[in-house]
Copies of this chain bind each other. A is one copy, B any other.
Amino acid sequence: MTEPAAPRPKPRRARGLPDRRGADLAVERQLISRVSKVYEDWGFEPLETPAFEYADALGKFLPDQDRPNEGVFAFEDDEEWVALRYDLTAPLARFVAENFDALPKPYRRWAAGPVWRNEKPGPGRFREFWQCDADTVGSASPAADAEMIAMACAAYSAVGLADGQFQIKFSTRKLLDAVLEKIGVAADAYSTRLVVLRAIDKFDRLGVKGVEALLGAGRKDESGDFTKGAGLDAAQAKAVLDLVGAGKGTRAEVLNRLAEIGGEAAIAELRAIDAALSALNVSEAQAQIDPTIVRGLEYYTGAVFEGQLIGGDGVFGSIGGGGRYDDLVARFRGERIPATGFSIGVSRLAAALQSKQAAQSDGPVLVLVMDQERVADALAMADELRRAGVRAETYLGAAGMKAQLKYADKRAAPIAIIQGGDELAKGVVTLKDLKLGAKIAAGLGEDREAYAKAREQVQQQAPRAQLVAAVQQMLAR
């Protein structure tokens, strides 16, 4: 009895949605496990919220609001709009607002999970990717911001980045607010502030000239598309550019330079973060003040951070970021609940780490099946090995010995176990050291004696009763 005939579907994925397998995925998982260990050590507890939320609960804070559905994947459920979460912060704000009375305050939580952005995918830019976040909700203290920076440093170290391979750059949006006030941009000029923020956010990519254009009338890109600017005059734009250009040198040097530009509250905040960073032993190389850092998401209200990977030739890309978002919970409750957090871009960091450390781990020991009538013997051997703590599998396809050894190779099996009729009669098994075999195949250099000895060692017999010990010995050599 078969299902009624249907047109055969194509096996394909919607664009920008990756499959990840084997070693690639293992790197991501290990990374999340190490980062979350750091978060736990710092006193953050885990939280998992659903993949989708009411659209009004998530809010609209993405930089690309001109995309379909304003950058999110939305659909109707029970006649209300819901959307896949675009980050882990907006759902946290909903969670805190919903459970405010029951939570310890400050509430410190970490979370790891996929987020979805309905954006144009590109190389290394996916529409589903993982983030691993920590947030402190209910603390207005700059020490909480400093903790985020220090903890991010600890997390990057924990995943194997050495000092000098990463750096956290931080600033506060209050610096810009002070400059905007000074140059007479009205405090309620909401959209002008946003356009200025986004212009600065593109500093890395567009440089001074590009930002200057976006602060003024606007900018035409290579494709001819025109982006409307903030409409500042030359003097106003210069004041913003002076701020953006103030970040060179040690934290103390930058602070002194910024103090001249002004913004008392901003400077006090940065000084307090700097002092806390020193208490937390965060070096100048690990964390610098950089006023070009403003972050793209709209909800940040104060301190902002960005983690960058330093390649051989300078900065290599963003591997995390965050900041203070004192108004996000207030959207629900009215009352302001100060909060700050840091998000590590798991997929990006994993990709960066993979180029640094090609994780080539061994597969399981493979027990071959030489005779389908004796599959039970092979199952029992694999079972014995596993019970002794050795990863092992039985070949369960229908192919012959040659194809089985090819399979062992594809699985990176370190050892193949073979028991044909002859071995069975003698009560022995054959162990094939596939790693050593591969080494020999790759050439053992000019040493003929070593070569001959190695060849001898590749294949070896052991009494069936000694299987586990023989495998363990071979694995250990």
Q: Give the interface of A toward B (CB within 8 A).
A: 1-4, 6, 8-15, 17-22, 25-26, 29, 40-54, 56-57, 59, 73-75, 77-78, 80, 82, 84, 94-95, 97-99, 104-106, 108-109, 114, 116, 118, 128, 136, 138-141, 143-144, 146-147, 150, 154, 177, 180, 187-190, 193, 275-276, 278-281, 298, 327, 331-334, 363-364, 366, 372, 375-377, 379-380, 382-383, 386, 391-399, 407, 410-411
Contacts and interface: CB of A to CB of B under 8 A. Distances in A.
B128 A50 contact: yes
A190 B3 contact: yes
A97 B12 CA distance: 9
A143 B394 contact: yes
Contact of A43 (B42, B78, B114, B411): B411
A422 B334 CA distance: 41
6 contacts: A3-B190, A14-B50, A139-B396, A143-B394, A276-B375, A279-B380
Contacts of A278: 376
A41 B391 contact: yes
Contacts of A141: 372, 375, 396-398
A95 B12 CA distance: 8
A410 B104 contact: yes
Given A1-B190, A104-B410, A379-B143, A331 B9 contact: yes
B51 A116 contact: yes
A410 B404 CA distance: 57
B42 A279 contact: no
A105 B407 contact: yes
Nearest to A36: B29
A187 B2 CA distance: 8
Contact of A46 (B2, B21, B375, B379): B21
A8 B54 contact: no
- 9 closest cross-chain pairs (CB), A and B: A43-B393, A75-B75, A11-B97, A17-B50, A43-B364, A279-B376, A104-B410, A11-B98, A139-B396
Given A13-B98, A104-B410, 10 more contacts: A1-B177, A8-B331, A13-B50, A19-B99, A21-B47, A40-B391, A41-B392, A43-B366, A74-B75, A143-B376
B391 A43 contact: yes
A13 B53 contact: yes
Contacts of A377: 279
Nearest to A56: B9
A75 B75 CA distance: 6
Contact of A106 (B97, B114, B382, B396): B396
A104 to B, nearest CB: 4
A12 B78 CA distance: 14
Contacts of A275: 376
Nearest to A17: B50
A14 B75 contact: no
A366 to B, nearest CB: 8
Contacts of A59: 9
Contacts of A104: 407, 410-411
A105 B410 CA distance: 9
A30 to B, nearest CB: 11
Contact of A139 (B3, B15, B136, B397): B397
Contacts of A138: 397
Nearest to A126: B50
A251 B430 CA distance: 34
A140 B109 CA distance: 46
B280 A51 contact: no
A149 to B, nearest CB: 12
A18 B50 contact: yes
Among A1, A42, A109, A147, find the residue whose CB has the most chain B CB atoms closer than 10 A: A1
A19 B1 contact: no
Contact of A57 (B11, B136, B154): B11
Contacts of A116: 51
B73 A46 contact: no
Given A51-B128, A140-B398, A379-B280, A12 B98 contact: yes
A84 B74 CA distance: 12
A8 B330 CA distance: 9
A121 to B, nearest CB: 11
